[in-house]
Amino acid sequence: MKRIVFPGIAMIGVSYALARFSFGMFLPDIAESLNLMEAALGAVSSLAYLAYCVALLTSSVFIYRAGEHTVVQMAGLSAVLGMIGIAIAPNLYILAVGVFVAGLSSGWASPALSQVATLTLKPADRDRGNTWINTGTSFGLILSGPVVLLFTEHWRLSYSLFALIGIGVMLWNWKTAPAGKSRKNEKPVSGHRLFNQWKRSGDLLIASFLVGTSSAIYWTFSRSYLTAEYDMSYIESAAFWIMMGISGILGGIAGGTIKQFGLAMAYRFTLVILVLSIAMITVPFVLMIYVSGILFGIAYIFMTGVFIVWGTRLFANNPSVAVSLSFLLLGIGQSLGSVIAGAIIERASYTAGFLLFAGIGLVGLVVPVKINENEIELKSK
């Protein structure tokens, strides 16, 4: 299990934390170095989301044609090339290309690695393996956070270092799984069965969209809230962000928890914790604020692990399809939620926005969790 899970964790860390999320942390210094205005920065930042969606939509095709291990290498290569592009960018256009190429990585990595884990690990280890691989984002944030704090003005050097790490992770994954398997000669799934699978994934997609929308305000505006409302310094707010990453490692226990209590119970309990963490940041006490960050880090990574397990059970023979769709709806919800959250904060207040989005998350409690052929909800055992 370790032979598959450890390099998978590293690839997720490179794809999400280094190639994608770290851009926002370095953005002020990148903007100053390249003399970019807010409109240009917004356009460039949106390319990472666009690339993520493109990669998610194409991942199943590439996995089917070239094999999941090849797509893992594609994810690593796009992360490395994108970060090199960002590191050497002399102007807006090269920066935009770098951000887009780097953004492809995360959209290819998650579905491919879920396919690797599901097809390679023993049935008893699959849920745990998938959810631990998913914690790679947290490990990546733990690595990138101190780099941002120490070398925030030297963003080119930082991205060069990240690219070198990405090369090492690519080689690690290649060594542990050197060859992919094409499925283009396999008999395709019947149209009737495929339709039933897509129909049964509707609840997963709704849940993913609601969680994405609800969590968007936290990912986008939590640091701004802390500095604007609580007058936290840059270092204090960055420490809050790093703490979120550290706590997210506990999301790796999702697989074991699902096995113990059932998928439905794990989903609903985690959703309650996620909603509570979003609301708790509005309580003006330092302890409550940091507890909010810790709970959010745990709950968000745990929840994405739940979605991966949910999807792999729905699409047992082709888990990358469900993971791609779930993460796509999660991303769409986050994109839409960020826009709505910004408007609400501007017209009302940060507090009103966070409480409203916590309420949106609560709607997800009514979504049924159905995973077997008869669409019977999985009960805790």
Residue 202 domain-assigned (yes or no): yes
Q: CA-to-CA distance for 47 and 198, rounded, in angstroms?
A: 28
Q: CA-to-CA distance for 338 and 351, rounded, in angstroms?
A: 15
Q: What is the pLDDT of residue 188?
A: 47
Stretch 36-43: mean pLDDT, rounded? 76
pLDDT at 18 over 50: yes
Question: Which residues touch 359 (CB under 8 Å, ≥6 apart)?
Answer: 275
The C-alpha angle 248, 249, 255, rounded to 5 degrees, equals 105
pLDDT at 199 over 80: no
DSSP code of 90? -
Helical ranges in 90-201 per DSSP H: 92-120, 123-134, 136-151, 155-176, 191-200
- Residue predicted with more confidence, 37 or 136: 136
Q: CA-to-CA distance for 125 and 141, rounded, in angstroms?
A: 26
- Residue predicted with more confidence, 282 or 192: 282
If asked whether residues 254 and 313 sit together in one domain, one would say yes
Domain that holds residue 285: 191-381
Domain CATH for 23: 1.20.1250.20
CB atoms within 10 A of CB 71: 28
- Of the candidates 144, 125, 121, the one whose C-alpha atom is nearest the C-alpha of residue 15 is 144
Assign 371 a pLDDT band (cuts: 50, 70, 90): low
DSSP code of 121? S
For residue range 149-160, what is the model confidence (pLDDT) as tens digits? 778 778 999 999
Q: What is the pLDDT of residue 58?
A: 92
If asked whether residues 241 and 322 sit together in one domain, one would say yes
Q: Lowest-confidence range among 25-34, 104-113, 327-336?
A: 25-34
- 10 Å CB burial of residue 20 (0-12, 13-18, 19+) is buried
If asked whether residues 222 and 322 sit together in one domain, one would say yes
If asked whether residues 113 and 85 sit together in one domain, one would say yes
If asked whether residues 127 and 209 sit together in one domain, one would say no
Q: What is the pLDDT of residue 374?
A: 38
Q: CA-to-CA distance for 70 and 212, rounded, in angstroms?
A: 29
Find out whether 333 and 210 touch, Cβ atoms under 8 Å.
yes
If asked whether residues 58 and 150 sit together in one domain, one would say yes
pLDDT at 198 over 70: no
If asked whether residues 146 and 216 sit together in one domain, one would say no
Q: What percent of the chain has pLDDT over 70?
A: 90
Which of 155, 178, 201 is at the close of a domain? 178
Both tokens of 92, joined, read 């807006």
If asked whether residues 130 and 276 sit together in one domain, one would say no
Q: What is the pTM of this model?
A: 0.83
Find out whether 26 and 157 touch, Cβ atoms under 8 Å.
no
If asked whether residues 142 and 47 sit together in one domain, one would say yes
SS3 content of the chain, % helix, strand, coil (to 5): 85, 0, 15
If asked whether residues 238 and 378 sit together in one domain, one would say yes
| Residue whose tokens read 């609400």 | 344
For residue range 244-290, what is the model confidence (pLDDT) as tens digits? 888 988 888 877 888 888 999 999 999 999 999 999 999 999 999 99
Assign 10 a pLDDT band (cuts: 50, 70, 90): very high
Residue 186 domain-assigned (yes or no): no
